[in-house]
Each structure stands twice: as structure tokens, then as C-alpha cells.
Chains A and B, each alone.
Chain A
């Protein structure tokens, strides 16, 4: 009985995006498809990466980018909407612990990421032959990456007081990190300086590890990526839990 609150909150968060799936699922799938059409049209004949065609290389990157961006969008937009409209009290009044709160929001973000990611994969896999050489990496990195961006979404949704503050967080942090992570290129093709810069971007390891699951080759060892991504997840989890425990902006 006492742990009913968590599953309802999780379920509600999933229902929330599913009810407006045209915006929360179909739209990002379409965006990814457009990226694929444009970039592969321009680059298909000129570039091969890790021994596969550019289109085949691009698809996993787009899938993972969709997972990450939508995981972030889910928790952050839900929280800021609830806080701005005030209906967050419905979640704060019941006996739901900060841990349950955290897991429910992050897990729902992961679900949204998976749903959109699967949608992108289904929409794009027709354009190039895809292998699934080591599929467990795909699942592990999607799960961890989704959880990391879901946690970041929780932080942003609680930190931002207005929608434009959230947009700033998204435009100046999340977008650069995801775009400059090797979604569209292998970092080996970059000048050495930018290669080094990319290695400081945790999202690079998420994409690289995820892509390893498809081709069995990647810029970095998937074990290194796992370590980096795992460390990020652990750190962010501790940080977010402490933020929630402190009641920051939720329980004044």
C-alpha cells in the first residue's frame, strides 16, 4: 500500500506524453527523418565511417540523439509545467518520497526516450542495412543515457522558473552537448584539438557506446564509454537526489 504512489506517478508521467503523442513522439521522429534525408543525401557518396556507409553510420546516432533529447524534454517540460501552473501540489501533498519522485520522473523519461528512439529506428532503418552486432550495448547505453538526460531534465525543470529559462538550459547546454557528440561524424575525422574537446563531452561516450552495439566498432572502447557514462549517471543521481531532498524550489 505505501508504495503505490511511485507506480501511479510513473504511470501518470507516461500517460502525460502518450496523450499528446503527436507532439511528443511523432514530431521528433519526423525531425530525425529529415536530418537523415538531408545529411545522407549530401554525404552518402563521399563519406564512409568505420567501414559502413554514411547513412548506416548516421542512423544509430540519430536514434540515440532522439533518446537523449526526448528523455530530457519529458521530465523537464512536465516539471516546469506543473510548477508554473501550480499543479505540482498534487504530487507534493501525497506521501511520495523524494526517491520515488526521482525514479518515477527519470523512468518515465527513459520510456519516452525508448519510444521515440524506437520510432526513429523504425522510420530510418529502411535507408541502409543495419547490423545488430552486440545489441546489449544498445540497450545499456540507451538506458543509461536516457536516465542521465532524464535526471538533467529533473534538475532543469526544478531550477527554471520560467519557460524561457528552461529553453536557455536546453539551447545552451543540452543541444550543443548532443549535436557536438559525434552524432553526425566520427570524432576521428576531426582535427586533434576538437577530438580532445569532444572527449570531454559525456554525450560523446553515450553515442559512441550505443553505436558500438550496431557495428561492433567505435571511436572508443565500449568499456571506457560504459565507465564514463556510468560515472556520470552515478554523480548526477546523487546530485539530483540531494537537490530533491533539500526541497529546493519545491518545498520552500
Chain B
């Protein structure tokens, strides 16, 4: 079975900016994959290269085994892209936009599927509204719908939830999850790390055009983020405890790996004569992973990547 997406040694330079630097990445069929990175990391450039909107300087990209240059027709038929920019054609209504988009893929009589998409994205009541009349969030929904008209096995969403209300987020993720369960491969970029953490089974992180992390969400959380004991104390913390801990705003945060470490930790604090005013358990989260990866503990990330190649 060919990979849903195969990216090999892809580099792209815009003038002085190295937007992509020898990216190697494979997304398997059926995955829910996250592509993360700070602004300007190269996420959109990578997606554009995959979609044929940008030509990579070196390397090759393939969608479902079809090279995006030499076999572009098949590659594009298998790919649905939701662009980051909120674009629309002001000449047409929602339904016209979707019918035209279907036609570009050679699909006639697509009304049943279009109706289903409209229904699932909460757009049914806007079907005959002109694109100009829609609110930003509604336009975003149409953009998602346009990416799906040809039932692409691989769906790439470039920040689909930027500037979108809670309701759409929920309907959107519900729908995208269903598509994923039905076998579609999903690639998502977002700056809402909680979203990525909940949805994606595997995550790649880009930084300044380079791939700096690639692993399952679970492994990333385990490696780069731990549970932590967070507490506020009246007394002075003993030194042998503070070397592992971080303090901010009166709260101490002490990472631990297993819950059986909690009691001894508390016992030592008690033994030091420190009263505990407040206490909570912090869960590992992707935000911490992200921050640590971006701050670059190079040894760790290199090791991680080497392992995954």
C-alpha cells in the first residue's frame, strides 16, 4: 500500500528565505496527522508544494503514490486542500461554487454529495446565498466544502479553525473525524495545540523550514512533557527538591513520571517543614512539547528523528 503522502528531500527557497530545508516525511493512509510549527515555519509552503501551487527546488512529493509533477492529474484528484487564506469567488453562490469546483474535477451531477457536505458543515440554509454575503466563518466552511467535492482520499486542512467559532469547530471536527473513520487521510495544521493533541495520532513539527520532531502524539507527550506536581507553599522549598522544579508566580512545578512518585515527593516536602497551601496535578500537554521542541533541545530531537527514519 502506497503512503498517502510521501515527501522526500524537499527544499524550497524564496529569495533569502529557506522556506523548506530537506524535508522527509511520510503520512500513512488513514492517519490523522498534525503538521505544527510557529509562524513562518514552512507549513503552508509544504502544503503548497504538495498541491502543486509551489514548485519544490529539490526533492519529490507524491500523493497516494502519484508524483505531484509527473503525474499531477492523479495526484490532484486524490488531494483536497483547504487553503489558509480565506478566499472565495464573489460572482457565485455557495452551491454554484461547489458545482463549479466539482466540474473542475470532471464530476457532473454531484448534487447528492454536495447536499451532504452542506448539511454536515451547517451550510444547507446558505446554499443559495451569494459568497459575498457570507460571514467569515461561513466562507471558511465553504472553503472546507470546496476541498471535499471530489471525495479526495487525502485531505489537507491549513488552519481551518483560524477565526472560527466554537460551533463550527465542533461540527467541523465531527465531520472530519467521520471522514477519517471512513478511511480518508487527514493532515491538519493549526496553532491550537489542544486541537492537535485531541485529534492527531501523529505529529510533525517544523521550525524554520526544518523538520524538528516527528512521532506519535503519545510518544511526544511522553518524551517532552511529564505529569507534574504543582504546588504553592508558605515555607522555603528544600534545595534538593528545587533543582528539578520550576517556579513561576508562587507556584512550584515538579515533573514526575509515575504516580507512585507523588507520595514520596510530598513526604519530602513535609519533612522539610514546608506547609502546602494549594496543590494540583498538571497533565502533560502538547503546548509544553511544542515549546520545548522549538527551544531546541537538539540532542533529543535529533535522536528522535534518527529513530524514526
- Chain A interface (Cβ < 8 Å from any Cβ of B): 1-5, 7-9, 11-12, 15-16, 19-20, 82, 85-87, 89-97, 247, 251-252
Contacts and interface: CB of A to CB of B under 8 A. Distances in A.
A33 to B, nearest CB: 27
Contacts of A95: 72-74, 76-77, 105-106
B54 A91 contact: no
Interface string B97-122: 10011011111100000000000000
A5 B107 CA distance: 8
A159 B97 CA distance: 26
B52 A4 contact: no
B89 interface: yes
Interface stretch (B80-88, B246-254, B298-306): B80-88
Interface residues of B, number: 33
A8 B81 contact: no
Given A2-B106, A4-B106, A90 B101 contact: yes
A4 B103 contact: yes
B7 interface: no
B55 interface: yes
What are the 8 closest A-B residue pairs judged by CB atoms, nearest first?
A8-B103, A4-B106, A94-B104, A95-B73, A86-B87, A95-B76, A1-B106, A87-B87
Interface string B63-79: 00000000011101101
Contact of A93 (B51, B55, B88, B106): B51
Nearest to B131: A87
A251 B54 contact: yes
A247 B48 CA distance: 13
A249 to B, nearest CB: 12
A16 B106 CA distance: 19
B87 A89 contact: yes
A4 to B, nearest CB: 3
B243 interface: no
Nearest to B81: A93
